[in-house]
Amino acid sequence: MSDKPRWTERPLPLLPSSLRLRIKRWAELRYWRTRESIDSNAHYEYFFTEHFGLDRDFYKGKRVLDVGCGPRGSLEWMDVASEVVGADPLADEYRKIGAPKGRMQYVAARAEELPFPDGHFDVVSAFNALDHVENVSAAAAEIARVTTPGGSFLLIVEVGHEPTWTEPHTLAADFHRALEGWETRSEQVYAFHEAVYASVRARKPYKGGVGILSARLERTAVPSKRPVTS
């Protein structure tokens, strides 16, 4: 892997950022509206537990945040946690198209501006989400800010792909090593196979190009002030 982790920050520059954002949100919502079932969350437990070598008891009494959660109740299965929250810019729209109404709280928020106190969450996840944000650096800094010291960041993200309207960043396979305030506890890169979650389950060796990064990070420090977002 490269000694200089990197990612793009200004993709698709020919349009104003406000217009890019409107197109991006329209495309994201259109994707979910075409899915056959919104209320489909049974597969999430595997990725939060067995995949990372954890079990349900790991989450007992913890506050958990899923950034870029989507509308399928990714944390509904987590009945042992003390608080489960999903943050997504489209949270209000997700409620309208049938997001599950359970114990998981949906909060309409960008990853770059999370409306939570410093160090509030014990575990923060971002599955198939961090390449969707507007500003990777600001999003990562906010995730660090709201995670308690010693807390965990569970990351699954596509790397090496060309920018698209909904995934506007090309992330290097080792970009997580450049994130301020984190130590890597485990990491693996898989070859891309059909889709993000299918690739993680297939666990095919990564040989460059498009892949899926899976990493568990531990919060060791946090930026001294809220990052400036675009």
**Helix (H), strand (E), coil (C) string for 173-190:** CCHHHHCCCEEEEEEEEE
Average pLDDT over residues 173-187: 92
* Domains annotated on the chain, with CATH: 17-219 (3.40.50.150)
Overall residue count recorded for the chain in this entry: 230
Pairing mode, strands 105-108 and 83-88: parallel
Check residue 136 and give its pLDDT: 92
Decide which of 28 and 197 is more confident: 197
Instruction: Read off the tokens for 48.
Output: 């939060």
Higher pLDDT, 230 or 203: 203
Q: CA 114 to CA 108: how far, in whole Å?
A: 9
Tokens 């977002």 sit on residue? 229
Instruction: Give whole-number Cα distances, 68 to 91, 107, 134, 156, 166, in Å.
Output: 9, 10, 12, 12, 12
pLDDT recorded at residue 91:
93
> Residue 114: what pLDDT?
98
pTM confidence score? 0.86
Q: Return mean pLDDT, the chain.
A: 87
DSSP string, 132-176: TSS-HHHHHHHHHHHEEEEEEEEEEEEESPPP-SSS---B-TTGG
pLDDT 10s digits, 30-76: 777 776 555 567 789 999 999 999 999 999 999 999 999 999 899 99
Q: What pLDDT shows up at residue 15? A: 62
Please provide residue 158's backbone torsions phi and psi, each rounded to the nearest 5 degrees: -75, 135
Looking at residue 180, its pLDDT comes to: 85
Does residue 221 carry a pLDDT above 60?
Answer: yes
Residue 106 confidence (pLDDT) above 50 = yes
Residue 160 confidence (pLDDT) above 60: yes
pLDDT score for 169: 86
Q: What is the mean pLDDT of residues 189-214?
A: 93
